[in-house]
Amino acid sequence: MAGADSPSTALRRRDLCTRGIRLVGKMRSDVIDLLDTYVERQGLDASASVAAVEGVPPAAVERWDEQTGTQRLLENLAAYRAFRTLLAQMLEEQREQLGEADAALGRALASVLLQVSAFAYHLEELLQLESRSPPSEEGDGPPPQPHLSLFEQKLRGLGVLRELAQWAVRSSRDLRQLAKPSPGTGSAPGLAESP
């Protein structure tokens, strides 16, 4: 069981959570704008249903309110590391397909990729605060994709962005849960780890 936080640890956690919430809020706003641009530039139907794509971490979670703080951080970190790889792939594909013809889409993708990387780093800092080293990235990331047709690539991209938008909402809630002070113990709720 984790002991009670020192006041400075609790303050640092709260500060990191607050900054993380702002970061993820901006990211979500940019992802939603990017979704509109992506759908338009790729000639897709905004209401198209996209089946779950292999390698895209689903934001959907059961018993969300029962998760410990460490679980939240680990799941978030795994997700954003995966999105970092997926967005880099999308950027590469976009450059191959459209080249300089659609620099705006490329810039928007690059901007979101940067924010995803920044948030992943932010999560690593939060994990370190819990005296827990972030897991290594070896072997992480989505499995290698079979060759996809151009249309399949576009649909996959749509699925990636939609799921990222969901994650941005979930992450904001996760950080708010983490930032809650626990009454009496001085530690944030749900951060108790099994021995």
Partner 1 sequence: DSHIQYERVGADVTMKCGSMDWDAAVTWTANGTDIDESHLNGSYLILKNVDLSQSGQYSCYEGSSWHLKYQTYLRVGTPPKEPVLMCRSNNYPKGFYCSWHLPTPTYIPNSFNISVIHGTKEMVCEKDAIPKNRCHIRYLQLFSTVKYKVTLTVTNALGKNFTTLTFDEFAIVKPDPPESVVAKPVPNNPRRLEVSWQNPSSWPDPESFPLKFFLRYRPLILDQWQHVELSDGTLHTITDAYAGKEYIIQVAAKDNDIGTWSDWSVAVHATPWTEEPKHLTTEAQITETTSASTSSFMAPPTTKICDKGAMVGSGAVAVCWTAGLVVAAYSVLFI
22 binds partner 1 (CB under 8 A): no
130 binds partner 1 (CB under 8 A): no
* Piece of 96-104, 109-117, 129-137, 162-170 that binds partner 1 (CB under 8 A): 162-170
Q: How far is CA 88 from the centre of its chain?
A: 14
Residue whose CB is less far from partner 1, 65 or 100: 65
Computed over its alpha carbons, how large is the radius of gyration of the chain? Answer: 18
Residue 94 CB, nearest approach to partner 1 (Å): 22
Say if CB 57 and CB 79 are below 8 A apart: yes
25 binds partner 1 (CB under 8 A): yes
Residue whose CB is less far from partner 1, 4 or 169: 169
Q: DSSP states of 132-159 as a string?
A: -PPPP-TT-SPPPPPP--HHHHHHHHHH
13 binds partner 1 (CB under 8 A): no
Residue 58 CB, nearest approach to partner 1 (Å): 8
d(CA 13, CA 77): 16
Q: 38 to 77, contacts with partner 1 by CB under 8 A?
A: 58-62, 64-65
Q: How far is CA 181 from the centre of its chain?
A: 24
Say if CB 178 and CB 73 are below 8 A apart: yes
Q: What distances in angstroms separate CA 134 from CA 62, 78, 110, 119, one per listed residue? A: 24, 10, 25, 13
Residue 60 CB, nearest approach to partner 1 (Å): 4
d(CA 56, CA 73): 18
89 binds partner 1 (CB under 8 A): no
Kindly give, in sequence order, each residue whose CB lies less than 8 Å from that of residue 103, ignoring residues fewer than 6 positions away: none
80 binds partner 1 (CB under 8 A): no
Residue whose CB is less far from partner 1, 13 or 28: 28
Q: Count residues contacting partner 1 (CB under 8 A)?
A: 20
**Reduced to 3 states, what is the DSSP secondary structure of residue 121?**
helix
* Piece of 5-13, 108-116, 131-139, 164-172 that binds partner 1 (CB under 8 A): 164-172
Q: Site residues (CB under 8 A) for partner 1?
A: 25, 28, 58-62, 64-65, 162-163, 166-167, 169-170, 172-173, 176-177, 180
